[in-house]
Amino acid sequence: MKKKTAIIALLILTSFVVSSAIMPTTQGQVVLANLVFKTNGGGTRPDYGLFIAQYLRDIGIDVEVKVQEWSVFVGELIATHDYDLGCVALTGGGATPEARSVYTEEGSLNLFQLDQLIPYGNESEQMQDLGVTIADLDERQQLYYDWQQLMMDKIVPLLPLFSPRFYTAVWSNTKGYDMRWGFEASSPYMSYDGLHEGQDSADEFNNRDAMWSELNPLFSDDTSSTWIYGLTADSLLRWSPDNAPLKTGLIDDWEQITPDHFKFELRDNVFWNPSFNVTDRTSSSGPLVTETSPGVWDITDPLELMDGLKDGLPSTGTSHQVTAIDAVFTYLAYGNLNISEDPSLAEWISDIYVDPVDPLAFHVFIDGDPNTVEVEPFIDFFAGMTFQTLPEFFLNSTDTQVTHSGGGIPTVGLYDEIINTPQWIAFSESCFGHGPFMFDYFVSNSVSVHTRSPFWFGVGAIDGVGGKTPFVETVNTRVIPDDSASLAEFKAGKLDILGVTSFPEERKLMQADPRFEVQTEIRDYYLFIFYNLKRPFLGGADNFVFLDAAGKEAYTKGVAVRKAMNYAIDREEMNQVLHDGEYTLCHNPMYLYTAFYYYDDVIKYYKDLDAAIEWLGYAGYSLEVEDTPYPILGIVAAIGVGAALLLYRKKK
């Protein structure tokens, strides 16, 4: 019995020795705070919480991870703020740096409970208010650079995480395609270097999509329809992949007259393509137009040219010039409460009219909030100027009824029943524009075909240089709704381009295969960890306690804690484990997608435990354990094991 007791005691003592060898010496031994992390279920967000709990345990912070249903979680985000920290994503934005809804006291998405009372809070709000009034892009960019540094260094309400990416594959014989600009803008710069396997012709480009549903952009709500119309009509204002306005499109210049009044100039000698009715055309129909002599075009196929609603005349390709009337009509139509699917897209326009002297110029008056009496500055309206132009002569009428836009502008000619006129019905399936291609024919649920337009004005969107023309005569958009079938067709060479984001393994093989070129771009998606600045330890009263450490007097105790937490979290490891290292780390309080305003030299919080412990020290917290350290206990335990063994041997 004594022998068994000695053996059991020996085993217990040995376990203490082993435990003392693997336990950390200081980190995690003192619990500085108990916090609650909340997020919604699904995807990897609960995993983010578990990783963060593990990392913060190393600096003495215990985190309880709570996963909620989305309806419960989103309610607490804004209403009760019953959390210490959590994870959320913003998506579908990023075209401009507009951040007031997230990072101001009255913002509808103020997850952090930021207010103007906390140190630097008022300065942050003033910078954001000023940012929406500066029209000079370089000056505005610098302001947002300074704001991002202020947010991430002196306020620290969040830890940015990741932005995922889109991937597109093309065959390597396809030269000049730029995924960030898209096919329509890239086409004048593209060429084929020979034929790839499975390719039948160097004069056509083959894409795939679902079947389009509505070609009038006022009503279309699917990317398939947007693609078809986008090939036929250039945007009024060109927008760069870095999210800045350009002067390479139909609008080629502008000036600011007053803070809320802008004058825009249109490019001269731009004409509407012929208003063909293509609904009865098939693959066996003759060409849309055939050149008979320089500058003269003859319609050889018995096509009907659709008449306009306003002037009763068809467009022949040279009969109707694109003027400021078309631009004004387009913006009024998008903002009209009677016919637009989403009039809020143009409700920032408080007035708009054609210049009384110059038919290629129009004036726009801006109001960022039409619901208030005061005029609200709103420079971010540039992102709302990118609508594709609508033909005023074809879609407008001479009706005397007066309707209004979301911004309160009275409009004559647009009325409820106009959408049921033959012109509007025809335009929904036989659209035309002034772009590089004309809609030729379609076979429902099979293919849609565009033909290169001889009437396009030929200015490249990327560099603004004239004399351009699309590199192919024909663009075929095959209807292949199944992704796997599309992948098979692409690999067989029957498609020239394919989005491969949903095929990560195939995409990696293509990246290593010289037959393909895989391009990538950042998504308009921004994922981050947020801190509740009103909670004790994270902030609360500590937001107003400034540090007394030399060189750190500009920081508060709350900021020091949040910096320490940011430095403790290993985002690179999370990315590697959860996303195979393929997401892109973010460092700023705005979308990485907003490239023009995104400040790359902002302070960055890579994992650095020494820095984390140092900032906790500035805040007055220590992780040192005053009791006997575990290594010493281990030595004592080892001595005890040795003594027990000697005693056991002597007795034996």
Phi, psi of 227 (to 5 degrees): -65, -45
How far lies 78's CA from each of 71, 83, 102, 125, in Å?
Answer: 12, 11, 11, 19
SS3 content of the chain, % helix, strand, coil (to 5): 30, 20, 45
Could you please report the per-residue DSSP string of 463-515? T--SS---S-SEEEEEE---HHHHHHHHHTTS-SEEE-TT-HHHHHHHHT-TT
Among 397, 561, 582, 488, CA closest to 35: 561
458 close to 466: Cβ distance less than 8 angstroms = yes
The order of strands in the sheet holding 349-354 is 251-258, 261-266, 361-366, 349-354
Question: What is the helix (H) or strand (E) element at residue 422, kind and residue range?
Answer: helix 422-427
386 close to 380: Cβ distance less than 8 angstroms = no
Report, as ranges of residue numbers, the positions in the chain whose pLDDT lies below 70.
Answer: 1-29, 290-303, 625-652
Amino acid making up residue 211: M
Neighbours of 251 (CB within 10 A): 24
- What is the structure's pLDDT at 291? 53
- Chain segment 99-111, per-residue pLDDT in tens: 888 999 988 889 9
- What is the structure's pLDDT at 359? 98
Question: Environment class of residue 496 by beta-carbon count within 10 Å: exposed (0-12), middle (13-18) or buried (19+)?
Answer: buried
- What is the structure's pLDDT at 108? 86
- What is the structure's pLDDT at 94? 87
- What is the structure's pLDDT at 28? 41
The pTM for the full model equals: 0.85
Question: What is the helix (H) or strand (E) element at residue 261, kind and residue range?
Answer: strand 261-266
390 close to 232: Cβ distance less than 8 angstroms = no
Q: Which residue has 């220590």 as its token pair? A: 622
Question: What is the helix (H) or strand (E) element at residue 441, kind and residue range?
Answer: strand 437-443
Domains and CATH numbers, the chain: 26-163+524-618 (3.10.105), 240-278+286-418 (3.90.76.10)
CA distance 331 to 250: 14
User: H helices then E strands: how many in the chain?
Assistant: 17, 26
Neighbours of 641 (CB within 10 A): 16
CA distance 589 to 592: 9
Phi, psi of 353 (to 5 degrees): -160, 160
